[in-house]
Amino acid sequence: MVQLEVTHEGIWKEVVRYDCTHGFAHRDAYNLSGKHVKEELHLSFDDALTLADDDIDDNWETYKHRFLEGELL
């Protein structure tokens, strides 16, 4: 599992999470109210891990800004 979290009003909140806990690689994107969208990735677990690391490294600032604005990614 690879996850980006930010603090909002002193509480850590998940922004985006990549994992395979349901038996398939997927991405969960959250908004401030905790609503989320699940996207199946159709990748091997190894490829999904590489994608997750690269995506969060490259886009964390954008994801943080959009999350704090109340948007779903």
What's the rounded Cα separation, in Å, for the pair 10 and 1? 23
Give yes or no for a contact between 15 and 67, defined as CB atoms under 8 angstroms apart.
yes
Mean pLDDT of successive 10-residue stretches along the chain, which has 73 residues: 96 96 94 93 96 98 94 77
What stretch of H or E contains 7? strand 2-8
Could you give the 3-state DSSP secondary structure of residue 37? strand
What's residue 71's pLDDT? 83
What's residue 72's pLDDT? 76
